[in-house]
């Protein structure tokens, strides 16, 4: 999260203040504050697709096998390249692949 902040992004990291918060509460908070949610938790996909959860944008990080530094680099590049285009989309980031879905 520090890398995002260092690059000028306004970041709220749930683990810094409210560890253990339920996914629907996290999503509601992000949506209320018009924040794009960056997560590794695939449960957010179910909340969006099955439960039709409203969101400001979600980035699902599926970069499991990469080093932390490489994950940060890729996420920052996606944000820099697509910026506001990420709003309202469910974005899946995998090594060598980015998929966008508009709901």
Which residues contact residue 48 at a Cβ distance below 8 angstroms, ignoring those fewer than 6 apart?
Answer: 55, 58, 90, 103
Do the beta carbons of residue 38 and residue 10 sit within 8 Å?
A: no
Do the beta carbons of residue 59 and residue 37 sit within 8 Å?
A: yes
* 77-98 mean pLDDT: 93
Q: Would you say residue 14 has pLDDT above 80?
A: no
Q: Would you say residue 86 has pLDDT above 90?
A: yes
Average pLDDT, the chain: 88
Report CA-CA distances (Å) from 62 to 18, 32, 38, 41. 23, 25, 11, 9
* 40-54 mean pLDDT: 88
d(CA 87, CA 57): 5
Which residues form the domain of 46? 2-102
Q: Would you say residue 3 has pLDDT above 90?
A: no
* Structural domain count of the chain: 1
């Amino acid at each position: 999260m520090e890398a995002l902040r260092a690059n000028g992004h306004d970041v709220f990291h749930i683990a810094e203040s409210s560890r253990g918060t339920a996914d629907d509460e996290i999503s509601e908070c992000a949506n209320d504050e018009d924040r794009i949610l960056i997560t590794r938790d695939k449960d957010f996909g179910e909340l969006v697709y099955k439960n039709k959860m409203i969101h400001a944008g979600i980035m699902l990080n599926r970069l499991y096998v990469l080093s932390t530094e490489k994950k940060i680099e890729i996420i920052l590049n996606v944000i820099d390249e697509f910026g506001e285009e990420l709003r309202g989309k469910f974005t899946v980031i995998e090594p060598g692949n980015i998929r966008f879905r508009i709901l």
